[in-house]
Amino acid sequence: MIFNRGKIIHILAISVIILGIISTIYVNAYKEKNNSSNEIIINGNSFDISIIFSNINEIKIITDEGEKSGIPLDQLIDYSGENCPSCFKYQIIGSDGYKQTVTWQDMENGVISLDRIAFFPHLAHSFWVRDIIEIEVKKI
Amino acid sequence: MKNKMRIFALIIFFGSIWGFSEIFIGSFLADQELPYGIIMTGFFAMIFLTLSRIIYNQKGMQIAIGITAGALKYFNPFVGCNVCSAIAIMAEGLVFELIWNYFMNYDFSQLKSIKMKISIGIFTSYMVYVSGFILTQILTPLIYSNFYFENLISFMPQIFSKGLFAGIIGGLSIPIAFSLSNINLSLKDKIYYREGRLRINRLFYPTTFGISAICWIIVLANWYIFIS
């Protein structure tokens, strides 16, 4: 019985290493695929991040990590041409596949920095999506 | 006969130093932009939980250590979701307990070889880290707004990937914890035999309760200063 469990533990250790290696390869491939452009997709339309920053004024917000600057996320959605922004929720997607879904009220409080990080001063840091590649507009 | 007071003292001691290091060392590592979650679980959690298991092989102890560490971590002013991180650390203690209860026999005889120590270290650390991470990813959105299952699923490869490094560190930490357990710490027991004579370790309770009290006082004072 003990011998069997001993064998099982070796197999499990190797299994989690293999799972970790495969996941690392997948994550890096996914990142590489999505990191190549300087564009951000909002509701299916592609926008150049530097053009967005030249058209919308940056603001500064205070977070528990100090001052952060960026353009307001609600203005970004307005800029993308969304007619009824408060009618939807917003799924923010990072280049590594990380996603967080927030409400319009959250978007009104958040900013996106030039290096494509979303900051929400009123939410936990797990909502601060990095390397944003897409904002999906979804039905509530 | 096992002394409940001794077990209680060790639970409070290990839970307090684990929670204390999560708050202060974890926050320092985060400030340095190091992967603090991986280091905290792979090294600190594995060392504290394994040492406590070796010193006093009592089932259920690691859950209680996790609860103590989680209770202390609740008073961490440096994170957004205190409840989430507190529950996650409690879950880490539970996962460790479940794995070791299933795989370990009473005298750790199957852990004599270094290969077994490394394997149990990799597997335990990986599972503890991944389960704590998943729980945080569920609890944080739940507490702040809504939890979306598809967000978690799309992030699973990242969690499994990060778990690899926690597993590797754990594979080194558990052999280290076993070698540390050979040092005659004053924590080991209140009564022990040496050179054929029964001796009393008078430092046991002052050491365990004293260090635990210092941890709690510093954390609570820091919390009070931060919120006021």
Nearest CA-CA distance, residue A105 and chain B, Å: 11
A-to-B residue pairs, Cβ atoms closer than 8 angstroms: 111
State which residue of chain B sits closest to A13, comparing Cα positions: B123
* Number of domains, chain B: 1
User: Which of B112, B154, B169, B227 is best to mutate for the A interface (most A CBs within 10 A)?
Assistant: B154
Residue A50 has pLDDT above 60, yes or no: yes
CA angle A20, B97, B80 (to 5 degrees): 65
User: Average pLDDT in the B27-56 region?
Assistant: 92
User: Average pLDDT in the B55-60 region?
Assistant: 85
Residue B199 has pLDDT above 70, yes or no: no
Q: What is the mean pLDDT of chain B?
A: 88
Q: DSSP for B33-95, please give it.
A: T--HHHHIIIIIIHHHHHHHHHHS--TTHHHHHHHHHHHHHTT-TTSS-HHHHHHHHHHHHHH
Q: What is the pLDDT of residues B130-161, one digit of tens each?
A: 999 999 999 988 988 889 999 999 999 999 99
Residue A6 has pLDDT above 50, yes or no: yes
Which member of A13, A23, A64 has the closest CB to residue B123? Answer: A13
pLDDT band (50, 70, 90) for residue A2: very low
The predicted pLDDT at position B188 comes to 55
User: Average pLDDT in the A67-90 region?
Assistant: 93
Residue A36 has pLDDT above 80, yes or no: no
Which member of A2, A98, A124 has the closest CB to residue B110? Answer: A2
Which one, of B95, B104, B98, B167, lies nearest residue B132 by Cα? B95
Each domain of chain A, given as residue ranges in start order, spans: 1-36, 39-139
User: Average pLDDT in the A86-111 region?
Assistant: 93
Rounded Cα distance between A19 and A119, Å, is 32
Structure-model confidence comparison of residues A37 and A32, the more confident one: A32
User: Average pLDDT in the B62-87 region?
Assistant: 90
Query: SS3 of A47, please?
Result: strand
From chain A, pick out residues whose CB is under 8 angstroms from the CB of B80: 64, 123-126
Structure-model confidence comparison of residues B80 and B124, the more confident one: B124
Residue A1 has pLDDT above 50, yes or no: no
Residues 72-101 of chain B with CB under 8 A from chain A are 79-81, 84
Which one, of B3, B2, B62, B12, lies nearest residue B208 by Cα? B12
Q: Do A21 and B164 touch (CB under 8 A)?
A: yes
Contacts by A89-92, CB closer than 8 A, 24 or more apart = A89/A138, A89/A139, A89/A140, A90/A135, A90/A136, A90/A137, A90/A138, A91/A135, A91/A136, A91/A138, A91/B148, A91/B151, A92/A118, A92/A129, A92/A132, A92/A134, A92/A135
| Cβ–Cβ under 8 Å, residues B216 and B72 | yes
Query: Which range, A21-35, A70-84, B106-120, B185-199, is most confident?
Result: A70-84
Residue B116: give the domain boundaries: 4-227
| Cβ–Cβ under 8 Å, residues A39 and B137 | no
Which member of A20, A98, A124 has the closest CB to residue B167? Answer: A20
Contacts by B151-156, CB closer than 8 A, 24 or more apart = B151/A91, B151/A99, B151/A100, B151/A101, B154/A97, B154/A98, B154/A99, B155/A97, B155/A98, B155/A99, B156/A23
pLDDT band (50, 70, 90) for residue A97: confident
Q: Do A98 and B164 touch (CB under 8 A)?
A: no
Residue B224 has pLDDT above 80, yes or no: yes
Residue B108 has pLDDT above 60, yes or no: yes
Which member of A6, A27, A96 has the closest CB to residue B116? Answer: A6
Q: Do A124 and B144 touch (CB under 8 A)?
A: yes
Residue B187 has pLDDT above 60, yes or no: no
pTM of the model: 0.87
- A39-139: CATH class: alpha beta
The predicted pLDDT at position B203 comes to 80
User: Average pLDDT in the B80-106 region?
Assistant: 88
Which member of A13, A124, A127 has the closest CB to residue B122? Answer: A13
The predicted pLDDT at position B77 comes to 79
Query: CB-based contact (8 Å) between A127 and chain B?
Result: yes
Residue A37 has pLDDT above 60, yes or no: yes
Q: Do A10 and B105 touch (CB under 8 A)?
A: no
ipTM entry: 0.85
Rounded Cα distance between B111 and B124, Å, is 14
* Total Cβ atoms within 10 A of residue A25: 12
